[in-house]
Structures are given as structure tokens and as C-alpha cells.
Structure 1
Amino acid sequence: MDSRLTETLTETLTVVTALGCGLVAGVFFAFSGFVLAGLDRLPGEQAGAAMQQINVTAVRAPLMVALFGTALGAVLVAALAVHRWTPTASPWLLAGALLYLIGAVGVTIAGNVPLNDALAAGTRTWEQYRGPWTLANQVRTLTSLAAAGCLTVALRAG
């Protein structure tokens, strides 16, 4: 493949992935910023029931495409960073990809989803759920935002 075409595809993929990271960071920020605060205005049992319904509707195309489509972009960006290593852009590309994959997707799978399952199963009350879920969500927010920043820096450094 022509090197200029490869460079253009890499830049385009990096821009799209950075935008996805930013979009997902915004979704996570909204939860920590005001959705949970709104739910806290309800009695614990109602807040837990409302969150369960939010969790059901979250596992649909808009969020899943954003979350996992961005993960696919991050995997491809990481592979390109390693394959076409440059000392200026590749470390930023790799950092951004890993921040997103570990901090957004990994924390979702290892932290938020098990907490959601526990809330749905009734093994955690809202009061037991909210603190750990919020902490994990804040990690997802910050790492997604940091990933977008790293990918953006890579575009300037490349």
C-alpha cells in the first residue's frame, strides 16, 4: 500500500478513535455529573430500580457501538503504532489506545458490569452499589478523556 495512503488512513482512524474516546468520556461524565445525583434524590429502592432500567437500555446499539467501536479503533491504532513505529507519534498512539482499552473497556467489564449484575440480582442495595460504581465510572471517564488527549497529541506529533 502506498505510504501516503497508509498515513492518511492512520490519521483518519486516529481522529475517529479520538472522537469516540471523547464521546464515551462524555457519556461516563454525564453519569457521574448528574444522572447519579438525580437518582440519589429518590429513595434507595427506587434509585436502584431506576438504575437497573438504565442498565437495560444502555446495552443497545448507540452506547455499545460507541464503546466497542472505539475499542476496535483503539486496537487498530495500537497495532499501527507498533507496526509503523515512530518515536514522536507511536508512544502517544499506544498510550491512548491502552488507556481506553484498559480504563474504559476493562473497567466496564471488570467493575461496572459485575456491580450492575449485583444490583439486578438484589445482592447489593443502592447504598452499597453507588459508591463503588461511581468510583469505577470516574476511572472510565478520566481514562477515556486521557485517551482522547493522547490520540490528539499523536496527531500533532506525527
Structure 2
Amino acid sequence: MSKLVPALTIIAAIGSGVVGGVFFAFSNFVMAALARLPVPQGIAAMNSINITVITPTFMTALFGTGLLCLVLIAAAIMGWSQSGSYWLLAGAVIYVIGSPIVTMVFNVPLNDALAAVDPASSNGAAVWANHLSQWVMWNHVRTVTSIVAMACFIFALL
């Protein structure tokens, strides 16, 4: 177990960093680029992204890292007296709440609402405007928490 936890922590740091990087790109330029498109095109592009992102690689990075964090939460609690346990627990909890949970509770329902609307309708424009503000705000949360989790995992290893 003493060798397994550091290895799992390295994997969690890499996973949270990869996921944070994807979210960082969306927060910093992808969504801004989509917002510049006419509403129907922006909606179509975002809907296409939402379908295309469901790949084994990204799902493993996002949710596999979340599952790994659940293991690390248990390891941190069981080994609380060990050096770095606080950072390990903090990183794992921050990642689980800030990335997979925020994704499922906030971002996915916004994506579903966008997929259900007629892009050419006035309702489509309203849903898109809401999507651009709310989805991006929650994506900022996912970005920050994934990067903070990565930093916590690094501190746990030091």
C-alpha cells in the first residue's frame, strides 16, 4: 500500500491536470469563439462538441480520475497520520466535487437543454444566451477545481 498510494496520486495528478487543461481551453477561448458565431451555428457546434467529447479517453480522464479520487479519499483517511494525507484528501475531494459532480449536476443538464431546442427559434437564442453564461461559469469552476486538485496531489507527494 505504501507504494501504491503515491503511484495512484501521480495518476490522479495527471488526470486532473489533463481534465483541467481541457476545461481551461473551453473557458479561455473555445466558448468565446462559439459565442461569435450566429446563434444556430453556435448551438450546432456546441451540440457537436457535446456528442464528440463522449470518448473512452476523455470519459476515462474525467470519471476515471473521479473514481481514483474515491480510492484516494479512503487511503488518506486510513493513513491520516502519514505525511501528505491532508493534501491528498483535499485534492481528491476538490476534484470529485468540482469536476465530475459539477459536470453531472450543472453542465450536462445545460447541454441537454441546448440539444432539445430549435437553434433557429427565439427560444433557441434565449437558451444559447443562458448556456453561454451559466455553462461557462460552471466550466470555470471545473477548471479551477481540477487545477487546484492537481496542485494538492503534487503537494501530497512532496
TM-score strictly above 0.5:
yes
SS of the equivalent of 2:40 reads helix
Following superposition, the deviation at residue 88 of structure 1 comes to: 3.5
Contact (CA 8 Å) 1:48, 1:126: kept in 2 or not? yes
Separation in structure 2 between the aligned mates of residue 79 and residue 132 of structure 1, nearest angstrom: 33
Runs of 4+ in structure 1 deviating by more than 4 angstroms, as ranges, are none
Partner residue, 2:120: none
Among 41, 64, 78, the residue aligned to 1:46:
41
Cα RMSD after superposing both structures: 1.2
Structure 1 stretch 81-90 or stretch 44-53: which is displaced more? Answer: 81-90
Partner residue, 2:155: 153
In structure 2, the gaps of 5 or more residues are 118-122
SS of the equivalent of 1:27 reads helix
In structure 1, the gaps of 5 or more residues are 1-5
Following superposition, the deviation at residue 83 of structure 1 comes to: 1.1
Separation in structure 2 between the aligned mates of residue 154 and residue 118 of structure 1, nearest angstrom: 39
- Aligned residue pairs, count: 151
Separation in structure 2 between the aligned mates of residue 21 and residue 60 of structure 1, nearest angstrom: 17
1:1-158 alignment runs, 5 A limit: 6-86=1-81, 88-122=83-117, 125-156=127-158
Following superposition, the deviation at residue 125 of structure 1 comes to: 2.4
Aligned sequence identity (%): 48
Contact (CA 8 Å) 1:48, 1:125: kept in 2 or not? no
Structure 1 stretch 130-139 or stretch 77-86: which is displaced more? Answer: 77-86
SS of the equivalent of 2:2 reads helix
Structure 1 stretch 10-19 or stretch 82-91: which is displaced more? Answer: 82-91
TM-score w.r.t. structure 2 length?
A: 0.92
